[in-house]
């Protein structure tokens, strides 16, 4: 009976030690990072949920600028805010809300083959970029796309629900000249070769 008690006590110690080690093994937060609170921002455009929009919370308190907060809206127009792209929520404070969404018309935008791609894959991607016929447009009014001009703001609280809804008005169709210029179509000249 004594050996059974020792075995159970030993198992309990091992189990507790393992549990404590697992709790301690979680990803630690960066030094100085403030506490974050679950935050959700729903974006509508003319009252309709705006999917696939980028939402950035720009802090009024400059000490929070070190900890960028943002997210991408889902089909219901709701973005879960993440701090530094991976920590759920946002620090308490007042933020300007920046919203942007770009759409492509014409040929589908080519997908980059990624790191480790072969030279042929890179050339194929390059060819699609240079000869494709597509135009990119920003569909959110310019005033909401920059911290200096947005009229949208939210107050993230340590004790509040932190669920906000903001409307960006009617859709616009502003050409993204930089992205579109790269896709003017025409004759293909491979990267790394002289075009003359």
Residues ≥6 apart with Cβ < 8 Å to 139: 45, 101, 102, 103, 171, 172, 173, 174
**Contacting residues for 76 by C-beta, under 8 A, at least 6 apart:** 42, 49, 51
pLDDT digits (tens, 9 = 90+) for 45-70: 999 999 999 999 999 999 999 999 99
Arch. (CATH architecture) of 35-181: Sandwich (2.60)
Query: Tens digits of per-residue pLDDT, 92-115?
Result: 999 999 999 999 888 777 888 888
Beta strand spans in 139-173 (E)? 153-156, 163-167
Query: In terms of pTM, does the model score above 0.85?
Result: no
């Amino acid at each position: 009976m004594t050996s059974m008690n020792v075995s159970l006590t030993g198992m309990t110690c091992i189990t507790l030690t393992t549990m404590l080690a697992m709790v301690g093994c979680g990803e630690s937060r960066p030094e100085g990072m403030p506490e974050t609170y679950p935050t959700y921002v729903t974006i509508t455009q003319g009252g309709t949920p705006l999917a696939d929009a980028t939402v950035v919370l720009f802090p009024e308190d400059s000490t929070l600028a070190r900890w960028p907060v943002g997210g991408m809206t889902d089909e219901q127009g709701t973005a879960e805010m993440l701090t530094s792209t991976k920590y759920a929520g946002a620090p308490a404070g007042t933020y300007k809300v920046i919203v942007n969404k770009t759409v492509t018309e014409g040929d589908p935008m080519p997908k980059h083959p990624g790191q480790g791609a072969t030279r042929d894959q890179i050339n194929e991607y390059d060819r699609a970029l240079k000869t494709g016929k597509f135009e990119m447009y920003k569909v959110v009014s310019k005033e909401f796309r920059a911290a200096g001009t947005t009229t949208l703001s939210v107050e993230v609280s340590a004790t509040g629900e932190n669920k906000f809804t903001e409307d960006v008005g009617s859709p616009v169709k502003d050409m993204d000249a930089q992205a579109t210029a790269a896709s003017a179509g025409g004759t293909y000249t491979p990267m790394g070769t002289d075009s003359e």
